[in-house]
Structure 1
């Protein structure tokens, strides 16, 4: 909803939007009969084109789509970092950023075509959304770039899945075995548990 000042009132200051609980000054003349002080966002006001309303609606939709995609991508990237399972959905963050840029562009176009500026509540919501984006993005970036590199070597950890197959995992994840040495002869493994490595070598396992 947006504020629709009556034509017999003085023009409100640039960017003026009443806060919740606002009541008009009693000294102002009565609005014309049937006049609505609040109208839907897609209704064009005096001095505002229908294109302005269209761009304003585009901006609002693109903003929420951008927030949703970015947060989903950030949370997915944080959760799946340092794990061989899951999907890095950092593409969602890219889509989110592009959508937020589109929202900003559409909002600027709406303002140039006469749309009012954001109300205090809308500004607060937008700022909170952007703070969440920046915070989650920074956390996701730290998790992604700081993730542990998993290699099949001494010190690596292995999990036995439901198919009885050995899966290389982070040592912070649940696992049953750890590689204690890499040898060229099975007999050199201290226990009867090993994996075949590259180049004819063997990874000696120990329960961990």
Structure 2
């Protein structure tokens, strides 16, 4: 990559960051709109099945958009809004349908928030840590044992164990048994994180 290419890539990332912020503001406006309808008269306005279904479809689309943007902040606000509404809605009577819909959306939003927070962990993984170095090696050479990893890095078996636990907790690597050996592989999420680390390392090299 030449300096010109890097400058172009940097300009593109800045533009993408501005676009991301604009989308986040758009998400917040959308959140305010569907939350206002949910708050109105304690959700009683959703007693009409057709209105409830249209509202649910709109919220589901909003959750998908927020998930694609990994917008943890707005997803957290949405989750708390849905939790508050769920506590108020009755499981019987005119709001019973809305209660079921909110329950489903609540769990969907919770899962999206967990994924967004995981994405934040991927983006903030320090490339200089043993965990990051270990992830890159596992991604490049899947199936290594702990002893082979210690030799490749190089570091101690205890460091591999500590860093490996941290990566497993983040859902970035998987440790599987093959015969008497335990081997390391990157999860699908770990592969994405490894590619992000590689891009960040390249960008830093040209900075």
Shared fold, TM over 0.5: no
Structure number with the higher strand fraction is 1
TM-score, with structure 1 as normaliser: 0.29
Structure number with the higher helix fraction is 2
TM-score, with structure 2 as normaliser: 0.29
